[in-house]
Amino acid sequence: MQRLTVQPQLVDRAYGAILDEICTGRLAPGQRVVQDELAERLAVSRQPVLQALLLLKRQGFLHETGRRGLMVAPIEPVFTAHLYELRRALDGVAAHGAALRHTASSATAGRALIERGRRVVSSGDTAAMIAADIAFHRFIYELSGNKLIAETATLHWHHIRRVMGQVLREAGRLGTIWDEHEGILDAVLRGNADEAEARSRHHAERAAQALIAELTLSLEQAV
């Protein structure tokens, strides 16, 4: 393998590719992960792969196996619960900040996202639903103006995406979440920070309960 041209973000490419495979389930929970194999598949050397795996391990997407090497982290209800507990706090503070910072253009953008969300729900495309959900929340994170929140939350959302994908194979009743989203957005655009925060936390709470119920159910079936 020769690589004459320099494309200096092989690590990022590897990271993104592997993360995506994990989140979409192409790399299944529990599956063993081997550097050589990934390196070949991505047409890079083991080095960038190694570095990407190191990151993914730190971020909890990969676990060490007792034996040699890594495996894709299993999906655990307890971890998911912790994830949502954190998300509740994060979403709350983000919505609070967003309400203090919203502008006219953000109003248009926000309404468009909600519009899109409702449209996608009626289309029945699960992956698109998840994407729209993420897009809305990311919008709030960015509107909050707090880079750290955006980063932290984005990381967590990859985990969430994975769980959602696992659970919502045949689309749950994700319809109602867009009413809640709209409620959050309205509060934000009215500049009512406290209400935005409360609604956000409540939304995360509800989402968590629904998801975890579904998750434990599907895990029980699997056994």
Partner DNA sequence: CCGAAATTTACCGTATACGGTATCCGATAA
Partner DNA sequence: TTATCGGATACCGTATACGGTAAATTTCGG
Q: At what angle do helices 77-99 and 193-222 cross, to 10 degrees?
A: 160
Task: Tell which positions 31-90 bind DNA, by CB under 7 A.
Answer: 33-36, 44-48, 50-51, 53, 66-70
Binding flag, residue 100, a second copy (CB under 8 A): no
For a second copy, the closer of residues 97 and 117 by Cβ is 97
State the Cα–Cα distance between residues 70 and 54, nearest whole angstrom: 10
For 149, residues 6+ apart whose C-beta sits below 8 A from its C-beta are: 90, 93, 94, 97, 141
Among 42, 54, 71, 210, indicate the residue that binds a second copy (CB under 8 A): 54
Given a second copy, DNA, none, residue 179, with its beta carbon under 5 to 8 Å by kind, binds none
Among 18, 39, 93, 121, indicate the residue that binds a second copy (CB under 8 A): 93
State the Cα–Cα distance between residues 95 and 92, nearest whole angstrom: 5
CB of 16 to DNA, least distance (A): 12
Q: Is the Cβ–Cβ distance between 114 and 106 less than 8 Å? A: no
Binding flag, residue 210, a second copy (CB under 8 A): no
Q: At what angle do helices 147-167 and 10-24 cross, to 10 degrees?
A: 40
| Interacting residues with DNA (CB under 7 A) | 1-11, 33-36, 44-48, 50-51, 53, 66-70
